[in-house]
Amino acid sequence: MLIISLSSIPPRFPYIKPTLDSLLAQDVTADRILLHIPRAYRRFPEWDGTLPDVPAGVEILRCEEDLGPATKVLPAARAFRGEDVDLLFCDDDRIYPSDWGRRLCEARSSQPEAALCLRGMMVAWKTGQGVARVLRPQAKPSQDWQKWLDKRAHPGAEAMLFRASGHVDMFEGCGGVLVRPEMFDDAASDIPDVAWPVDDVWLSGMLAAKGVPIWLEAGARSAAHAAAPLDDAARHDQNIAAIRHLQAHHGVWLP
């Protein structure tokens, strides 16, 4: 069974339909598309409870707890743990190409024990320090990562593309990630404040703590933005703080 899972927040509710339409238009058909909406939002206490309009074929599931951006996958992982399910999670502000889901599902046959992604990062790209335990082969970026980081500081910079598939330290959820529900245990939902805003780092670290590799399938087309992203000015510092927490408390990504 293939289940697509995502979440959203009130400021994006008016703009989510193009993303949902793109998920419904995939050339591999999901058995269910689940949009997780908490009953209350930690970041938006003023929300009046009005739910987004969704097209037929998309189910809204209510969550008792707001897990921040990680709400896109953790409630579904908990609900389907122990079942024969491929769980494909993604962001709510992208328009996904029609072959997006199929590319990840096809990669599953050669990497059955890995979490699969189309966009990813290395810890060194965030902290300037590599990690001692490196899984081979590594995904090969299409350009020098330090030059890319310099360019990415400017608005409109392109995503890092990869010329060869391989392992990465962290996935980027905006590109989509295919996992098995059991890859995330209950500890993944115990999110410290330092990691709460940066789900890609936290969830990737939780996979590393369980020994689950992350495999990046190269050659993907980039998913276009469906709406303007929220202000991410503090994201770089938050990513580094979350990485340091995971290194100190979970023993992953050690230099």
**What are the average pLDDT values for consecutive 10-residue runs of the chain, which has 255 residues?**
98 97 97 99 97 98 97 99 98 96 95 96 90 91 66 50 92 97 98 97 98 93 67 78 98 96
Give dist(CA 241, CA 127) in Å, integer.
10
Residue 182 amino acid letter: E
Contact 179, 77 (CB under 8 A): yes
Specify the pLDDT at position 181. Answer: 99
Q: Whole-prediction pTM value?
A: 0.92
Specify the pLDDT at position 191. Answer: 98
Specify the pLDDT at position 142. Answer: 78
Contact 166, 122 (CB under 8 A): no
DSSP 44-101: -TT---PPPP--TTEEEEEESS--GGGGGTHHHHHHHTTSS-EEEE--SSEE--TTHH
CATH of region 2-250, choose from 3.40.1030.10, 3.40.50.300, 1.10.10.10, 3.90.550.10: 3.90.550.10
Q: Taking Cα atoms as reference points, which of 239, 241, 246 lies closest to residue 173?
A: 239
Alpha carbon 141 to its chain's center? 19
Give dist(CA 200, CA 185) in Å, integer.
16
Give dist(CA 74, CA 87) in Å, integer.
10
Specify the pLDDT at position 156. Answer: 45
Residue 160 phi/psi, 5-degree rounding, is: -70, 125
Residue 155 phi/psi, 5-degree rounding, is: -55, 140
